Structure 1
């Protein structure tokens, strides 16, 4: 009896799964076209799953081992079950192999069940709570049904009663594993996730046989502003590219993004997991009543809904998300860094902001004023452009317009208009001169890099600023651009290239580390009793630079007291993505939370490498540790030496003058 029922159940489930897969694929294809390497992506999928995705999963050792056992056991068990019970190839060796796969899957399912007994708040519940039961039923049923195949039990053991019970168990298991994978059950992420890895929007994030290390792809994609048919951002779910929709559908609702999000922790109305699930609702149509995870802080579940052809942002009683949800994001990429499915949350948020800004003119609070300032004065503060070099009036900085070429182009950034950041700029100039670096600045020719405009969704202003800067830079010859601002660093390095500006760009901490390694600086030891280092998001998560700042601090005798959240898990200061401009309220301020992290170390000084971080952390009310940029700390321990060639020339000239005029 079982030999008759099992093939029917298996092939019925497979048939329904194929229909479900077609339905799911048709839903994804409602999105805009996107070029993908169909064959190459499918061929690369196993490596991307086993290497790149597992590298992220591995950060949680418990789930890593659980995932290997459960997913690996299921894939092997499913294939062998189809071969042994579906096609009737009841070979004893295949039987034992299927038994082993079922045991492996069963053990993994036990760990899933243990985690689900008292799940962390970040995990979604609802249908996900039945997943361990389905996994256990699938593996247990096929294990018992395969014992006769392996010769452990006689054929027909238990009679029709056991056969009927096993048939029910198999039906439950295969319906969840195959049918639910493509029709929207908890296992949907397995099917969508595999194809998401194959047709990812950023394939450069993955390793390949020709490139052992994955590239860090974090630059936003440019809009084609010359195409009258191209949407200016995303208004409706169907305005996303089809592989973006596929990526949303791959979400496993694990909540790692939720746990990492600074806006969610601060009580602002953003939860990246809920946002992605809202996009899935918009893809399929319906409401968010079926969501069983943490809501947006202050916004109840069940009051929003939509469909692929309806605007996403809530207005006139309809919509998937509130505008404040999109403007709460600091674009820190903590969600992207933690996502085991490698979903691009920040891209989606900025795409939706672009529509609000470019089509609706709905940038909140001071957003519109800042964008107007950028257009009128080339800087977000609206300062007179002629004052861009006032901070260096006594430094006699070399200008590119006069030199025409230099080894280093020092990109000053809009910190030039901020009195606090001017101390950082002056300190870095002191370091450059001490190392006798051949450098120059653009001076009044420099304009805002466009970072704030782009994060606020004003792609038109960003591209205008970028193209003008690119045209200016094209007039001169230089080897490297160096800047103290990670936001300018990121934009110049990763986002100007698409518009024709390709440069070697370094953050000042990286460049100082290079100068120290080349023995270009004569440094003493810093006397600070205890120092911690705050990793800027746009230097660390966006560009992978964690070691150079620490190497510089070590070189001047500072032993960094690391925060619990440092490196790739560093908490955002709250200053990115235009967040201080849009200023969406929450229960607490993000910089206050970061200062609490800092105080836990007992450090007296916070070393920073970003003007935004400096401003946000210094905005925390005292008492608090002192905030100092890395350039300031290095400048403080520079030893005035007469041994450098420049100093020797200066001394010789002084002595020559003294002989002529005794």
Structure 2
């Protein structure tokens, strides 16, 4: 038997055996995922895997051009090579075109492996080491072995080139390469993400995320269930467990997490890897990435039926999250970190009653007074005593107000003197544009955003259904609010409870009015200004253009921060973080204000009452913080703005607030 005949028979046996073992491993992994709770199976999503891989996944990967090109070469080369190897050496299809194509695909993969090795030679801190450090070598050995093996079959080299010595070397290389690239996909190792990741893209819990869709609202849970929230890994949905297994440990989530940057005990990458440990059993001693700040690696363990909090993951880790979705937005595998965190918070809050900091007090206030600060519900409109607002349900000239074009959602800014200034500016702008609007007055309850992010799903659902019941009494075309958190809830999370509304953030609504010339702004002012994107307006709802359009309509040349739009750093005010108050090495709003200072801006424009409070809480000297509505009022030039309560008339440019 010649060396070439031996190689042919050996490859048939080896690859067939490897594929069988890979299949066995796949069954084992599927059994791990099936420990989770039932969830809808989107079978048609499996047909969409190629598109989701090539388009949706690569849309995220492409933010790093180096890794995007590298991934195209390595992953594309591997997938094509694997298919051709099976056709050539298992099904014995001796077609010259397949041989030449394998030569090209293995060469492409080899080139990609060189770039992977270059990145791994001096890896950035967000990359995991350990088993991932051997990946470049495995890619290189696999691709080089099949490239050399294919050369004689193409006729480039004689069939007896190298003889038995080369055959033995190729056998060693092929065993190593196939072991890592095939066997490792389902039995563990760097390539595990390829199998789990592909299925995760197809069976994703949020099918709406793919294509041009969006899905950011938290999913409701049945309050009559035996257990509320997630206590153990088996309490997650099965496709959530699948998503954890898809993690490629690239650390993009870690790199973008504001809590991690602030030195709080959260690293979203390690959290996902801990969930894998919990699903499969074991400890975190082999984790080779950055730890949770202040928490040593190797001291925690878990199992599928073992409670997660304070065994596998410390309680403070869950409560460090601001729910800003920076981790989710940065993840190429589209893992939903925030969903997992809130699911675990739900158990801590509703089953154990253990919400840290002032969280318990806030939730008690929401239950008793329908607002987080515990103010008497009848005082919600005290700030507007001089505004002469039209209130739904109120009698005007002996007739009850039941309809208006716009429902102005006030939100919790009603109880904060600083944000009342923003509300007054909005009201003046609406009147200047002759918008027919009304408010709910004292009948408006908190939107429920804070309760839901703190894990109190019961309080959220009560507030949501109460607000929906109130709003459904009246007729209006649009809801407008200055609070991105309320905007998100009303638009995306009330739908599950029958609340279907056209909801606009005040910047989007005013952008329409300006574009229609119903509001005209002075564009001659020169302001050294930057704009801070609110997480719940930007990453949650994709609104980046309207605020910038308004600023540019005022003649402002925005000095963009390095981290803006989808990569904007959180102000630290979301997810209940200000009330749970988990300590770190620095404050998130201080870090964000440092981003502002780097632009040399004199003013930072905001579009969220929470961002306003967090950034104004930074110790002076610092740039001035102003809502876009306040800046618009300063620049308003069309018509007369009247405030019948205060007797203020603003002519020409500007208006008092």
TM-score category of the 2 structures, normalised to the smaller one: over 0.9
Q: Which whole-Å CA distance do the structure 1 matches of 2:246 and 2:348 have between them?
A: 26
Q: Which residue of 2 aligns with 1:10?
A: 15
Conserved 8 A contact 2:57-2:332 = yes
Q: 1:245 aligns with which of 231, 234, 241?
A: 241
Is 1:600–2:598 an aligned residue pair?
yes
Structure 2 runs not aligned, ≥5 long: 1-5, 395-400, 650-657
Q: Residues 128-147 of structure 1 correspond to what in structure 2 (within 5 A)?
A: 128-147=132-151
Q: Residues 13-24 of structure 1 correspond to what in structure 2 (within 5 A)?
A: 13-24=18-29
Is 1:236–2:232 an aligned residue pair?
yes
Q: Which whole-Å CA distance do the structure 1 matches of 2:488 and 2:180 have between them?
A: 44
Conserved 8 A contact 1:256-1:339 = yes
Q: Which whole-Å CA distance do the structure 2 matches of 1:581 and 1:87 have between them?
A: 63
Q: 1:615 aligns with which of 592, 595, 613?
A: 613
Conserved 8 A contact 2:391-2:440 = yes
Q: 1:111 aligns with which of 109, 115, 123?
A: 115
Q: 1:357 aligns with which of 349, 362, 369?
A: 349
1:148 counterpart SS class? helix
Q: Which residue of 2 aligns with 1:153?
A: 157
Conserved 8 A contact 1:408-1:478 = yes
Q: Which whole-Å CA distance do the structure 2 matches of 1:169 and 1:637 have between them?
A: 70
Q: 1:476 aligns with which of 474, 477, 482?
A: 474
Q: Which whole-Å CA distance do the structure 2 matches of 1:643 and 1:418 have between them?
A: 24
Q: Which residue of 2 aligns with 1:370?
A: 362
Is 1:570–2:574 an aligned residue pair?
no
Q: Which residue of 1 aligns with 2:422?
A: 424
Q: Which residue of 2 aligns with 1:266?
A: 262
Q: 1:87 aligns with which of 82, 88, 91?
A: 91
**For 1:343-382, what per-residue CA distance to the aligned partner results, in whole angstroms no more than 9, with x for missing partners?**
0000000000000000000000100000000011110011
2:217 counterpart SS class? coil
Q: Which residue of 2 aligns with 1:655?
A: none
Conserved 8 A contact 2:606-2:628 = yes
CA-CA distance at 1:284 after TM superposition: 0.6
Conserved 8 A contact 2:234-2:304 = yes
Q: Which whole-Å CA distance do the structure 1 matches of 2:520 and 2:219 have between them?
A: 43
Conserved 8 A contact 1:604-1:626 = yes
Name the TM-score, length of structure 2 as normaliser: 0.95
Q: Which residue of 1 aligns with 2:655?
A: none
Conserved 8 A contact 1:391-1:416 = yes
CA-CA distance at 1:547 after TM superposition: 0.2
Conserved 8 A contact 1:379-1:414 = yes
**For 1:313-347, what per-residue CA distance to the aligned partner results, in whole angstroms no more than 9, with x for missing partners?**
01xxxx11001000000000000000000000000
Is 1:33–2:38 an aligned residue pair?
yes
Q: 1:530 aligns with which of 511, 528, 531?
A: 528
Q: Which residue of 2 aligns with 1:658?
A: none
Distance 1:143 1:522, change over 3 A: closer
Q: Which residue of 1 aligns with 2:325?
A: 333
Q: Which whole-Å CA distance do the structure 1 matches of 2:641 and 2:257 have between them?
A: 50
Q: Which whole-Å CA distance do the structure 2 matches of 1:292 and 1:469 have between them?
A: 48
**For 1:452-510, what per-residue CA distance to the aligned partner results, in whole angstroms no more than 9, with x for missing partners?**
00000000000001110000001000000000000000000000000111100000000
Q: Which whole-Å CA distance do the structure 2 matches of 1:600 and 1:526 have between them?
A: 25
Q: 1:347 aligns with which of 326, 339, 349?
A: 339
CA-CA distance at 1:87 after TM superposition: 2.8
CA-CA distance at 1:526 after TM superposition: 6.2
Question: Which is further off, 63-72 or 526-535?
Answer: 526-535
Q: Which whole-Å CA distance do the structure 1 matches of 2:248 and 2:259 have between them?
A: 21
Q: 2:217 aligns with which of 216, 219, 228?
A: 219
Q: Which whole-Å CA distance do the structure 2 matches of 1:149 and 1:26 have between them?
A: 41
Q: Which whole-Å CA distance do the structure 1 matches of 2:62 and 2:300 have between them?
A: 35
1:405 counterpart SS class? coil
Distance 1:643 1:404, change over 3 A: closer
**For 1:19-59, what per-residue CA distance to the aligned partner results, in whole angstroms no more than 9, with x for missing partners?**
00000011000000111122x11111111111111111111
Name the TM-score, length of structure 1 as normaliser: 0.94
CA-CA distance at 1:172 after TM superposition: 0.2
Question: Which is further off, 583-592 or 87-96?
Answer: 87-96
Question: Which is further off, 581-590 or 162-171?
Answer: 162-171
Q: Which whole-Å CA distance do the structure 1 matches of 2:521 and 2:110 have between them?
A: 60
Distance 1:643 1:192, change over 3 A: closer
CA-CA distance at 1:79 after TM superposition: 1.0
2:546 counterpart SS class? helix
Question: Which is further off, 514-523 or 432-441?
Answer: 514-523
1:482 counterpart SS class? strand
CA-CA distance at 1:145 after TM superposition: 1.1
Conserved 8 A contact 2:432-2:641 = no
Conserved 8 A contact 2:264-2:582 = yes
Conserved 8 A contact 1:490-1:538 = yes
Q: Which whole-Å CA distance do the structure 2 matches of 1:526 and 1:47 have between them?
A: 48
Conserved 8 A contact 1:522-1:638 = yes
Q: Which residue of 1 aligns with 2:413?
A: 415
Alignment coverage as a number of residue pairs? 633
Is 1:387–2:379 an aligned residue pair?
yes
